Each structure stands twice: as C-alpha cells, then as structure tokens.
Structure 1
C-alpha cells in the first residue's frame, strides 16, 4: 500500500524537524513570525524510546539502547493539529515542531518549506557531506600487486 503524497510530505517534514538542532530551529521560527493562536493537546513531555539496530544493516534487529525524546501536540484555532517529536530534552523545540506541523497542515506548507524546512535540510546535507569528506580522508585502500605464490 503506497502513501499518498501528503503523508510523504508530512513524514519528511516531521523527520526534518525531529533531527534539527534546537537552536537553529528556534532561530528560523523566530524569523518566520509570531506563534498562532493554539491550544495544547499534549504539552511538551520528555520520555525515552528504544533505538533498534541491525548488524550490517541486514542482520537480525537488536535493541541498541534508549534515546531521550520530547513530544508535543497542538491544535490551531483553525482546527489543524500538529505533532512534534525531537531528540533530546528541549520542550521549546518540541512545541515549535508541533506548531510548524500544524501550520503546514493548515495550508502554509509552501511558506514553511521556504522559510524553515529547506534551510534545515540544506544545512543537514552540508553537514553530512563534510562528515563524509572527513571520513574519506582517512580511507586506506589495500591491494596486492604480486602475491608470490607460484
């Protein structure tokens, strides 16, 4: 069963918000404008989730350990509901993520993409490329020209 495009866009949006550095998310949110009228459906709360891994990305799944997350849910005056889950213990970041999600669900997705989400994705991509370049600089390739086994 394939997802409809709105669900894929929301999944990508929530993923970007969840992984964003809290300080950068706050700065972009402040530049975007004032928070809309809203009510808290679930105030920011801190908890843990189990992180699972796979050996070699194909092996049997195993429990790697727990990670702290903060979640929040809001409803705008228009009725749109937004959810925010962020890594760590930053309640403000969780609330901001929930407000961004709610506004996007209310029809402001294009403006939020340009003002908040695209810069976060670009910065994450740049950071990933820099990390890959640092790792590539330490790569050692081994090869044998003549083994001497006659």
Structure 2
C-alpha cells in the first residue's frame, strides 16, 4: 500500500506568488512588526541577474526569445534548518531577502504566515487590481455601426 503524502507544493507556490507581487513597503512593514524574529544566515545572495523571457506568437506558435528581465534572488537558512528562496523582478535586493525569510517561515509555521502576512497582502493586491480594472473600464469605448436605410 502506498502512503498518501500531503502536497505542500501548491500552498507554498501560492505564498511565493503573493510575496513576489507584494510591494516592498508592505514586506518591510510586515518584517518590522514580526514578533520573535528568527536568526538566519544567507546561503546565497541577495544578488541581481538577468533571465531570458520567452514568448509565443499568438500564444501557441513557436517560442522565441523576447528579451531579458532583471531579477533579484536570495536564499537563506533559518536557525531551525528551513531554507527559504526569494525571487522578484527588478533590483530590490532587500525584497528578495525578505521573500526568502518569509518562505522559510512559511515552511515552519504556514498558518501564522498565512494569517499575519499573506491574507493582508492578497487584500492589498485585490484592491489594487479592482482599482486598475475600474480605471480601465472608464476608458472603454463602444464602437457601433449605424445602418443607412438606402440598401
């Protein structure tokens, strides 16, 4: 009989997505307010590099190199042994380091990170997205054709 193992990949992926999309200020504030900050050491970085972005014509055509994007990354290890990784677009090294710290904390105590950090970050992201949609909808133009009666 094969034992069922809980899949922790998806919750962690969603957490990292929320962390990478979060504004730097929100992560800095969350870290400043975090009680009982753990000791950690840098394993790699933080450092900045380039990644190649790929595209597909029409979404399904042959892939092609679109261009390069600047990415920051960091890896840390908590004193309790959890290793966290952080990646974000741009040159914000502190953001990459904080993402790595919160990733490691998520592995140790996912419920606390979810309630104290990720829920507020997702609320901010949802509000920002809604505002952007409203601004976009305000610029919508409806095109119509008037039919002339001479046909």
TM range (shorter): 0.7 to 0.9
Match of 2:73 among 71, 92, 109: 71
Q: CA deviation at 1:94?
A: 1.1
Unaligned runs of 5+ in 2: 1-5
Q: 1:91 is matched with which residue?
A: 93
Q: Which moved more, 1:58-67 or 1:110-119?
A: 58-67
SS in 2 for 1:35: coil
Q: Of the two, which has the highest radius of gyration?
A: 2
TM-score (norm 1): 0.86
> CA RMSD of the aligned region, Å?
2.0
Where do 4+ consecutive residues of structure 1 move more than 6 Å? none
Structure 2 residue 111 is the aligned partner of structure 1 residue 129 = no
TM-score (norm 2): 0.85
Q: How many residues are treated as equivalent by the alignment?
A: 146
Does the C-alpha gap of structure 1 residues 7 and 116 become closer, same or farther in structure 2, counting only changes over 3 Å?
A: same
2: CA distance, partners of 1:126 / 1:61: 34
| 8 Å contact from structure 1 (residues 29, 116) kept in 2 | no
2: CA distance, partners of 1:71 / 1:149: 66
SS in 2 for 1:73: strand
Q: Which moved more, 1:54-63 or 1:121-130?
A: 54-63
Q: Which moved more, 1:77-86 or 1:47-56?
A: 47-56
Structure 2 residue 147 is the aligned partner of structure 1 residue 146 = yes
